[in-house]
Amino acid sequence: MNRHPYLRAYLAGICVPTIFLLFVATGFIFMRYVYNLPVPIERVIVFPMAAVPNLWGVWNILFVSFLARRRFSIGLFGAFLPLLLAPLGFTVAHLLQFPIPPHVLAAAPVALPVGMVLYYLVWKHLVGSLNAELGVA
C-alpha cells in the first residue's frame, strides 16, 4: 500500500484536531446562543477551525517525509507544533483586535509547556496509531 503516502499522512494528521474542534464548536455554540455568553469569538474561531487541522496534516507530512525512517519520535515532533501554533494564534487575535485578557497572557509561560506535553501524548498515541493504521509510518 505505497500509493499516495503523503495524502494518507495528511488525512491521519487532520483527523484528531477535526474531531476535537467539532466538540469545541458545539460547546461554543451552546454557550453563545443558549447562555448568551458575551464573548465575540466568531471573529477568531476561523483560525482554529481552518488552520489548525491543516497545519496538523502538513506537520504529519513533514514527519513522514523526513523523520519517520530515522526512528525519530512522533510524539516529540508533535510536541513542537504548539511553538508554531501559539504565536500564529496570538498574531491572528491581535490582527483581528480580539481582546486577550491579561490573565491569559500571564498563564502563557505555564500553558505552553502543558500544551507541549498534551501534544506529545496526542501525537504519540493518536496520530501515531493512525499513521500505523494507514501504513505511512
Residue 118 lies in domain: 5-134
Residue labelled with grid coordinates 517525509? 65
Query: Measuring CA to CA, which residue among 8, 127, 136 is closest to residue 69?
Result: 136
Cα end-to-end span (Å), the chain? 12
Q: Would you give per-residue pLDDT tens digits along the chain (137 residues)?
A: 568 999 999 999 999 999 999 998 888 888 888 888 877 777 677 778 889 999 999 999 999 999 878 889 999 999 999 999 999 988 988 888 888 888 988 998 999 999 999 999 999 999 999 999 998 97
- How many structural domains does the chain have? 1
Q: How far is Cα 126 from Cα 122, in angstroms, rounded to an integer? A: 5
The model carries a pTM of: 0.89
The Cβ of residue 109 has, within 10 Å, a number of other Cβ atoms equal to 8
Q: How far is Cα 69 from Cα 72, in angstroms, rounded to an integer? A: 8
Distances in Å between the Cα of 72 and the Cα atoms of 17, 40, 62 are 22, 41, 12
